[in-house]
Amino acid sequence: MNLSISEQLTYSTVRIECELKTGGISTGTGFFFNFLENKENKTHVPVVITNKHVIKNATKGKIIITKANDKGEPLDTQHFSVSFENFESFWKLHPEADVDLCTMPIAPFLNEANKKGEKLFYIPFTKDLLLTEKHKKELSALEDVLMIGYPNGIWDAVNNMPILRKGSTATNPLYDYNGKKEIMIDIAAFPGSSGSPVLIFNEGGYRDKKGNIYMGTSRVILLGILYAGSQATATGEIIMSPNLQKPMTISKIPNNLGLIIKSERILELEKLFK
């Protein structure tokens, strides 16, 4: 199997479809992550991470994972669907009410697939993709970013593939925007994009803040998780709405800004499993 880094990233997310108590269906984005459970034997807890508001009031839920062949290679047009009753109850919520993150362990569903003789293919993010002190010395205020997800629920249903969108940081990623562990990005954020991983992604080379050029070296940093997008209300007021499932009545085109929760907060979710 010879997948480029960008191809590998297309297997890192999962489309989340919810049936709500209030009626109707909503969609959001989740991504796979491995929490380290035991450093000695290197065991992991595989999870999906998304926003709390994506799964709120969901009576039923569904995720679809790509199947794999006997060699461990993806079978893009063959999928394993997992449906949940009482979907909201499967998720562990970040303990702070204003941190819009939650996580669901998926080992039981992987085991279920294994019992049925099904091999699944996905590529999880890991902690070594989080921002390091070395990265902080390289980053400038303006960096290219990649967002992976399902805006408006749009996806390649035949191949179970997400939508890739490019943008840039709109605030310095080394600062806490408005005093919160958040970063603003210049990218179009639509319903369904909630929970999307946002990465600094430089494939084949990049330039650091001092002008040093690293040719032939790729850089992938999990910068954060999208949770809010700008909306213009009927009165013309621009607000950052965390509930991207429910677009507001707008009077003009939104300004294509999104808010992401810094990826360091993922480590706070890991504590829920200890």
Cα–Cα distances in angstroms (integers) from residue 35 to residues 14, 24, 51, 128, in the given order = 17, 33, 17, 11
Question: What pLDDT does residue 234 have?
Answer: 44
- Say how far apart CA 245 and CA 193 lie, in whole Å: 9
Q: Would 271 be classed as within a structural domain?
A: no
Angle (CA) 36 40 43, round 5°: 40
Tens of pLDDT, residue by residue over 250-263, are 444 557 899 999 99
Torsion-angle region of residue 57: left (phi > 0), alpha (psi -120 to 50) or beta? Answer: left
Cα–Cα distances in angstroms (integers) from residue 124 to residues 6, 77, 90, 95, 120, in the given order = 13, 20, 19, 23, 12
Question: What pLDDT does residue 273 have?
Answer: 87
For residue 51, what is the domain's CATH number? 2.40.10.10
Q: What is the mean pLDDT of residues 2-8?
A: 94
The count of domains in the chain is: 2
At which residue do the structure tokens 């109707």 appear?
A: 24
Domain that holds residue 26: 5-125
Domain stop point among 125, 157, 189: 125
- CB hemisphere CA count around 88 (13 angstroms): 11
Q: Is residue 169 domain-shared with residue 88, that is, in the same domain? A: no
Q: Is residue 111 domain-shared with residue 14, that is, in the same domain? A: yes
Which of residues 267 and 38 earns the better pLDDT score?
A: 267
Q: Is residue 175 domain-shared with residue 138, that is, in the same domain? A: yes
The total number of residues shown for the chain amounts to: 274
Mean pLDDT of the chain: 89
Is residue 247's pLDDT more than 90? Answer: no
Cα–Cα distances in angstroms (integers) from residue 74 to residues 111, 121, 150, 203, 205, in the given order = 18, 6, 20, 22, 27
Residues near 190 by beta carbon (within 8 Å), at least 6 away in sequence = 151, 152, 229, 244, 247
| Total Cβ atoms within 10 A of residue 256 | 15
3-state secondary structure of 106: coil
Q: Is residue 152 domain-shared with residue 247, that is, in the same domain? A: yes
Tens of pLDDT, residue by residue over 37-84, are 666 667 899 999 999 999 999 999 999 999 999 999 999 999 999 999
Nearest to 69 by CA among 132, 118, 103: 118
Q: Would 35 be classed as within a structural domain?
A: yes
Which of residues 249 and 213 earns the better pLDDT score?
A: 213
Question: What pLDDT does residue 57 have?
Answer: 93
3-state secondary structure of 52: helix
16 contacts 30 by C-beta, under 8 angstroms = yes
Q: Is residue 132 domain-shared with residue 262, that is, in the same domain? A: yes
